[in-house]
Structure 1
């Protein structure tokens, strides 16, 4: 069920009695801009930890406890050409509680909490509380640095920087960068907050045993105005380069992190989208895949080997944990697996197994309220919503020739290896 609340503000409702909780998600969606990513990430941190009514994390946690252990969080996400600030709340459906005595149902209380977080933040003297702001800036700095401690994450970031050199918004983490963070003032982040409330597209989604009337009534007192949302494509389309970009760094690791980046110019709205999903699963996106079988199992040259496909940026990436001295051999075997698929060398058994695993994953997602809510934003931004039965029929129809056709569109664009000496600990 889809509703227009205001210009640029939508509501999606999935009424169901399947869950004992009611899930609420609010996405603020803006064009992805390198200059704004860090400020939006810091804004999310500040909003998540305090409101005028609950000025400390402790008081906010107590309120969640009073709401029978409700969960609440704010995250930031990059999605193609968009940057998303996502607020989520999950409350128990009180009909499953034996001794519920509150006058106000928990769904309405959860919506009221979100309203307080969004529209009544902690702003003494009209600015963010200095102590809270400084603390959250430090926390975000720690979070960005700790991500870099994850060497596979760091290697993947370096690969993105090679793949998208000259395109800082695509190369940057959704959390932003340390240099910009150090220069951000409370005034600048407050301006980012006002910009978000006035200009971002707002997508509200609710899943659970609630009626449209209840949700719309709860939203009625949210001070959201009409906004003009440019219908900018979600997809980041880019020209492939003539030369492969190569990079490597030394780090204190025993296990080298090899990452390969490819262009796969098939996007979510292309007819070849599902064949691309099947290709990725057969290539390296599942434990059944050629990379897992031939690089990790048969050749024993990798601790792990997998691939990932983004239908929003038209990219395919491969990650492998290896011994640095085996890099050339591993790259050669990975290339062999790609060439095999480009020649159409895919057994009907593997194709059937890969399709079954994709269908199982899709069905498992139906049991997750959060995954179903997340899918609603993708449908909104792509204007695509394929019912399960149609999707299943499309998946079943994918042939070896379809996978071969997609594989032939794949072009290596960047390689990156993070490696160290054997004396280092992981």
Structure 2
């Protein structure tokens, strides 16, 4: 059930008795701006740790404990051309508790907590608490730096920087960058906070045994104003470069990370979307894939080899872990797997197996409240809503010829290798 609460504010309700919890998700969505990404990430950190009523992380944790172990968190993410500040709260459905004495049901208490976080933060004298601000800025700095300790993440980020050189909104992590972070003040974050509340599109989604009336009544107490939202699709369109961008760095790694980025000009709302999903699964997206089978298993040249498809940016990324001296051989074998699909050389029984694995993966989503909620935002951003039956029919209809057609649109754009310096 999709409800328009007011201009720029929507509520999606997924009523179900399948789960013993009620999940709430609130997404604040705005077009990506390189200057604002870091500030929004820091704002999320500050809001997550305190409110006027619960001024410390300890006080907030006690309240969550008093709500029978409710979960609460704030994250930031990117979806194509959009930046999202996401609040989530999950509470037990009290009808499954043997003794629940509080008059207010836990869903309403969860909504009240999110309301307090958003609209009554810790703002002594109208400013964010300096101690909290300084501590959270340091925590975010540590978080950004620690991401680089994950060498595969680091390699992938460097690959994105190569691929989207000159496009900082796409090259940058959703957490922003260290240089900007060091320059941000508490006043900057306050400005970002007011801008987010006033101008972002707001998408609220609730899953569980909750009626539309209850959800609307709880949301009606939030002081959200109407906002004019430019309803632009989130896709980042870009032109292929005539030459492949190549980068490499030396780092203390025992296992080299070789990553590749391809352009595939197919987005979520394109007719070839499902064929591209299947192409990616055949290429490297599943344990049955050509990359996994031929690079890792048969040639024993990689510790892992996989691919992923982004329908927001029209990219396919390949991640491998290899010995540095095998780099050229691995590149050649990966290129051969793509060429195989471009020739239409794909066994029908392998295609059937991979389709079955995709169908099973899709069904597991139905058992995950969080992933079902995520799906509502994707539908909001892209205006594409597909029923399970339609999705299954589209999957079944994909042919070898469809995969060949998609494969012929795939072009290598960048390669990046993070290695230990040996050759």
Map of 2:141 onto structure 1: 141
**Conservation of the 8 A alpha-carbon contact between 2:240 and 2:413:** yes
Distance 1:142 1:347 in 2: 48
1:357 maps to 2:360? no
Report the TM-score, using the length of structure 1 for normalisation: 0.99
Map of 2:217 onto structure 1: 217
Structure 1 residues 85-111: Cα deviation after superposition (integer angstroms, max 9, x where no partner): 000000000000001000100000000
Distance 1:319 1:221 in 2: 47
Gaps of 5+ in 2: none
1:413 maps to 2:413? yes
Distance 2:234 2:43 in 1: 23
1:196 maps to 2:202? no
Distance 1:357 1:145 in 2: 36
1:363 aligns to what SS in structure 2? helix
Map of 1:326 onto structure 2: 326
1:257 maps to 2:257? yes
Distance 1:210 1:151 in 2: 43
Gaps of 5+ in 1: none
2:197 aligns to what SS in structure 1? helix
**Conservation of the 8 A alpha-carbon contact between 1:254 and 1:422:** no
Q: CA deviation at 1:421?
A: 4.2
Map of 2:123 onto structure 1: 123
Structure 1 residues 163-205: Cα deviation after superposition (integer angstroms, max 9, x where no partner): 0000000000000000000000000010000000000000000
- Superposition map of 1:357-396 within 5 A: 357-396=357-396
Distance 2:257 2:150 in 1: 11
Map of 1:23 onto structure 2: 23
Distance 1:121 1:188 in 2: 16
**Conservation of the 8 A alpha-carbon contact between 2:324 and 2:422:** no
1:4 aligns to what SS in structure 2? strand
Distance 2:347 2:60 in 1: 55
Structure 1 residues 342-364: Cα deviation after superposition (integer angstroms, max 9, x where no partner): 00011111101111111111100
Distance 1:250 1:142 in 2: 22
Q: CA deviation at 1:232?
A: 1.5
After TM superposition, which residue ranges in structure 1, 4 or more long, deviate above 6 angstroms? none
Over the aligned positions, Cα root-mean-square deviation in angstroms equals 0.8
1:413 aligns to what SS in structure 2? strand
- Superposition map of 1:2-401 within 5 A: 2-401=2-401
Q: CA deviation at 1:422?
A: 6.3
Q: CA deviation at 1:231?
A: 1.4
2:148 aligns to what SS in structure 1? helix
**Conservation of the 8 A alpha-carbon contact between 1:197 and 1:224:** yes
Distance 1:394 1:317 in 2: 24
1:55 aligns to what SS in structure 2? coil
**Conservation of the 8 A alpha-carbon contact between 1:254 and 1:421:** no
1:149 aligns to what SS in structure 2? coil
Number of equivalenced pairs = 423
Distance 1:107 1:317 in 2: 40
**Conservation of the 8 A alpha-carbon contact between 1:341 and 1:403:** yes
Distance 1:3 1:390 in 2: 23
Distance 1:191 1:219 in 2: 24
1:253 aligns to what SS in structure 2? coil
**Conservation of the 8 A alpha-carbon contact between 1:133 and 1:186:** yes
Q: CA deviation at 1:221?
A: 1.1
